[in-house]
Structure 1
Amino acid sequence: MAVLVQKYGGTSLQTLDRVRRAALRIEAAWRRSPSVAVVVSARGGRTDELLRLAADVGASGQSRELDQLLAVGEGESAALMALTLNAMGVPAVSFTGRQAGIRTTDRHGDALVSGIGAERVRAALAAGQVAVVTGFQGVDRAGDVATLGRGGSDTSAVALAARLRAATCEIYTDVDGVFTADPRVLPAARCLPWVDPGVMAEMAFAGARVLHTRCIELAAMEGVEVRVRNVSSQAPGTTVAERQDDRPLETRRAVVAVTHDTDVARVLVHCRDSRRDLAPDVFDVMAARGTVVDLVARSGPYENEFRMGFTIRRSEADRVREALHEVAASFGGGVHFDTDVGKVSVVGMGLLSRPEYAARLMGALAAAGIPTSWISTSQMRLSVIVPRERTADAVETLHREFSLAAAPPGDAVPPAPGRSATV
């Protein structure tokens, strides 16, 4: 029998009423097809509470002990959901990442899923039980708890769906799906019925908070269809999957969405010794600390000074600050961090092949009086840095420029055969 995997985020489980509401949705799915696995996040605010406790006792940075503590949040959610389902007459059993056989790499706080055994999960499903699995965690080679970092529960759900050969992984959250822009910033934003996995990965990397890049990349590699649904409504949500389209490729809408990210720091590294190429040293610092670099520009080999600029997450600046200063200072250089910036991106398909899109982006922002610096272009994303306080203005300007409030003709995805759009 086909397996359905559902994932419930922290806001979906924040109160007991929300836990019961999610349980009712799980019960409905189980009664239609009693082979349901559920992945849960920590209840809303619980992870932050645990982080504050760790900070209160002087803990800092990622560590084995912090992962031991943070894993408590998901364990609480899984047990509470299983208890709720059992009380409703739905047989359910909860599993930690270890019990579900989720294996990870050894990096605490930002581990990768390396494999899933899932024997006990399979046995529970075969017995007609709902398997409730903790997201965000697994065990490393030493047998210690390791957490998966940003978007960890989404990644857990997709990885479990791939291991169980589930055709669909439903991600339940507090919004109706994936929008053309953040609806909290732009109420005119439109919910997209479907998004290509590659486009969704770019949107996630560029600031869309609904799904994480790692989750979508894994879904694309494993052929798992992801559906983003609102736990509080019957809206069909957004399907993230490849779709055959009768319209010729070059007549489809190129721009799909506008995303923004204010968790951005602009980093400038300089050194007067032009004979020394610091770029490898800089990237070594980033890689050793698991920090992603974007919008990179650097001086050429015939210039009198080495200069390199790039963006990172503002929340990760302290992780790399000291090491970058040491590298630059050893060659008589320095580092400057600018955290008063935001990144706005236009995401779609074939953007680099249409140079007019970059021209329209820059022209629209200039006409709105929004200063820009540093632009990056690719086939799927145009990103620009703006002052942080003008980020929302830039989102509204570009959403209007590319007419994203109106749906293109035929932009709908019917439910796949045998599935309901209003589960």
Structure 2
Amino acid sequence: MLVQKFGGTSLRTLDCVRRAALRVSAARRRGTAVAVVVSARGGRTDDLLRLAADVGAAEPSRELDQLLAVGESESAALTALALNGMGVPAISLTGHQAGIRTTDRHGDALITTIGAARLRSALDGGKVAVITGFQGVSRTGDIATLGRGGSDTTAVALAARLRASVCEIYTDVDGVFSADPRILPAARRLPWVPPGVMAEMAFAGARVLHTRCIELAAMEGVEVHVRNASTQEPGTTVADRQDAGPLETRRAVVAVTHDTDVARVLVHCRDVHRDLAPAVFEVLAAQGTVVDLVARSGPYENEFRMGFTIRRSQAVSVRAGLHKLMAAFGGGVHFDENVGKVSVAGMGLLSRPEYTARLMSALAGAGIPTSWIATSQMRISVVVPRERVVDAVEALHREFHLDQPEPADIAPATTSGRSATA
């Protein structure tokens, strides 16, 4: 059993659709049962969002989800048609038809269960099942879309439900890199990445996989392969490593990531003894706003102060709520959107304080000012001016010698008895 997922860029043109179908066909003809998850073709979702905006309906809603679901349905039908044309029996299934049940939150639903009876029937009958990613059906029977990373999450959830040996995610890059190769040509493809580190990388700005799908893969024990849909490169395996390589002397820092979708928020209120932090977090949670790098004043101070970073793209949705909350206590809110976040990801970073020292020293040596910093065992993140983000990535990639492979990484890692090219 194999699950393959093709992203929007992998299906942008009809030639791309045929190329994806050839990959699926090759796996099916090896005797493997194949379920395929597809995103909307490249640019299609943006086109649909523009149509919605033109009629004044840009906010998440039932009707917007009805519209956006068209993109994935188109991709699934075209892929199934291409497979049937190649002599490979295939059937397209919407999220509803595949039994994908979700919560009721339109635009950002979560998968609750997958009742895969129809899907299993198609697979047992020798057909390739092509399933729409990014969507399911809510408890009220309405289409609900899954938000950021929804198609990747769909693929991993199906792989877990079907007990697939591997979930292959095809995209337009050769795998996961030590930094974004679009801004740093010296970035190196990583043959393998542990799931926990990959989740931190995704959260901190790596765009290859979304943190939701990696968290689910880690919880369900799904091995993920990231590969380029246009090449035969071996890609990257995301799984716990099982080899005879070095133990505590293995490289701790794996990659540098960056994120420019960042806003730094400061909330403050003088002469107030009430702890306003719970109320602040309630405002953020009500909008599904992701928070990072949190710092706040202590319980014995007369002034309440709290700082944190959020996605800049989510600032509009929480601005009014935060201003209203703080104004009620005579306080204020300040948003700084001219910042970015740069992170190093790896294992055991908190246990090795020299890595934080090296990070700060490298940035200072490059003349890059820093403000807030947060550390954990798998990630060290720092806020820098937005215009210096690329400089910071270059400095840290050089400081931790990430352009040089580890000896154990020269050959692709093998996990669960399968190679990264499986």
Question: Do residues 127 (structure 1) and 128 (structure 2) align?
Answer: no
Spell out structure 1 runs of 4+ moving beyond 4 A. Answer: 414-423
1:316 aligns to what?
314
- Counterpart Cα distance in 2 of 1:420 and 1:258: 25
Kept after mapping to 1: 8 A contact 2:225/2:420: no
1:92 aligns to what?
90
- Counterpart Cα distance in 2 of 1:101 and 1:387: 46
Within 5 Å, which residues of 2 pair with 1:408-419? Answer: 408-411=406-409, 412-415=411-414, 419=418
> Which one of 349, 352, 355 corresponds to residue 354 of structure 1?
352
- Counterpart Cα distance in 2 of 1:60 and 1:227: 34
SS at match of 2:294: strand
Give the counterpart letter for 1:14 in structure 2.
R
Q: Once the 2 structures are TM-superposed, how far is the Cα of residue 417 of structure 1 from its aligned partner?
A: 7.3
- Counterpart Cα distance in 2 of 1:59 and 1:217: 32
2:154 aligns to what?
156
Deviations 1:194-249 (A, max 9, x none): 00000000000000000011101111111110000001111110000011243453
- Counterpart Cα distance in 2 of 1:384 and 1:263: 14
2:233 aligns to what?
235
Change (3 A) 1:227 1:275: same
Question: Do residues 331 (structure 1) and 338 (structure 2) align?
Answer: no
**Higher deviation after alignment, 403-412 or 197-206:** 403-412
**Higher deviation after alignment, 245-254 or 40-49:** 245-254
Deviations 1:147-183 (A, max 9, x none): 1110000000000000000010000000000000000
Deviations 1:3-38 (A, max 9, x none): 100000000000111111111111101100241000
Kept after mapping to 1: 8 A contact 2:180/2:257: yes
Kept after mapping to 1: 8 A contact 2:48/2:67: yes
Kept after mapping to 2: 8 A contact 1:273/1:332: no
> Which one of 332, 336, 339 corresponds to residue 341 of structure 1?
339
> Which one of 369, 375, 378 corresponds to residue 377 of structure 1?
375
Give the counterpart letter for 2:23 in structure 1.
R
Give the counterpart letter for 1:336 in structure 2.
H
Q: What is the CA RMSD across the aligned residues, in angstroms?
A: 1.2
Kept after mapping to 2: 8 A contact 1:34/1:130: no
2:283 aligns to what?
285
Give the counterpart letter for 2:115 in structure 1.
G
> Which one of 273, 280, 290 corresponds to residue 271 of structure 2?
273
Kept after mapping to 2: 8 A contact 1:75/1:134: yes
Kept after mapping to 2: 8 A contact 1:195/1:240: yes
- Counterpart Cα distance in 2 of 1:197 and 1:281: 33
- Aligned pair count reads 421
SS at match of 1:251: coil
- Counterpart Cα distance in 2 of 1:337 and 1:303: 23
Q: Once the 2 structures are TM-superposed, how far is the Cα of residue 415 of structure 1 from its aligned partner?
A: 4.6
1:35 aligns to what?
33
SS at match of 1:143: coil
> Which one of 358, 361, 364 corresponds to residue 363 of structure 1?
361
- Counterpart Cα distance in 1 of 2:192 and 2:416: 16
Kept after mapping to 2: 8 A contact 1:34/1:128: no
1:109 aligns to what?
107
- Counterpart Cα distance in 2 of 1:156 and 1:142: 20
- Counterpart Cα distance in 2 of 1:249 and 1:306: 45
Unaligned runs of 5+ in 2: none
Compute the TM-score of the two structures, normalised by the length of structure 2: 0.98
Kept after mapping to 1: 8 A contact 2:103/2:111: yes
Question: Do residues 393 (structure 1) and 368 (structure 2) align?
Answer: no
> Which one of 78, 87, 105 corresponds to residue 80 of structure 1?
78
Change (3 A) 1:421 1:354: closer
Give the counterpart letter for 2:102 in structure 1.
T
**Higher deviation after alignment, 38-47 or 293-302:** 293-302
Deviations 1:72-95 (A, max 9, x none): 100010001001111111110000
SS at match of 1:228: strand
Kept after mapping to 1: 8 A contact 2:34/2:129: yes
Kept after mapping to 1: 8 A contact 2:3/2:159: yes
- Counterpart Cα distance in 1 of 2:56 and 2:104: 23
Q: Once the 2 structures are TM-superposed, how far is the Cα of residue 319 of structure 1 from its aligned partner?
A: 1.1
1:178 aligns to what?
176
Deviations 1:361-408 (A, max 9, x none): 000000001111100001110000000111011001000000000001
- Counterpart Cα distance in 1 of 2:246 and 2:5: 35
- Counterpart Cα distance in 2 of 1:33 and 1:272: 69
Change (3 A) 1:199 1:328: same
SS at match of 2:372: strand
1:188 aligns to what?
186
SS at match of 1:211: coil
Kept after mapping to 2: 8 A contact 1:279/1:308: yes
SS at match of 2:17: helix
Kept after mapping to 1: 8 A contact 2:80/2:90: yes
> Which one of 241, 248, 251 corresponds to residue 250 of structure 1?
248
Compute the TM-score of the two structures, normalised by the length of structure 1: 0.98
Kept after mapping to 1: 8 A contact 2:21/2:82: yes
Give the counterpart letter for 1:201 in structure 2.
A
- Counterpart Cα distance in 1 of 2:271 and 2:92: 59
Give the counterpart letter for 2:312 in structure 1.
R
Give the counterpart letter for 2:157 in structure 1.
A
- Counterpart Cα distance in 2 of 1:195 and 1:417: 14
Change (3 A) 1:34 1:167: closer
Q: Once the 2 structures are TM-superposed, how far is the Cα of residue 418 of structure 1 from its aligned partner?
A: 7.0
Query: Identity rate of aligned residues, in percent?
Result: 79
- Counterpart Cα distance in 1 of 2:156 and 2:87: 27
SS at match of 2:181: coil
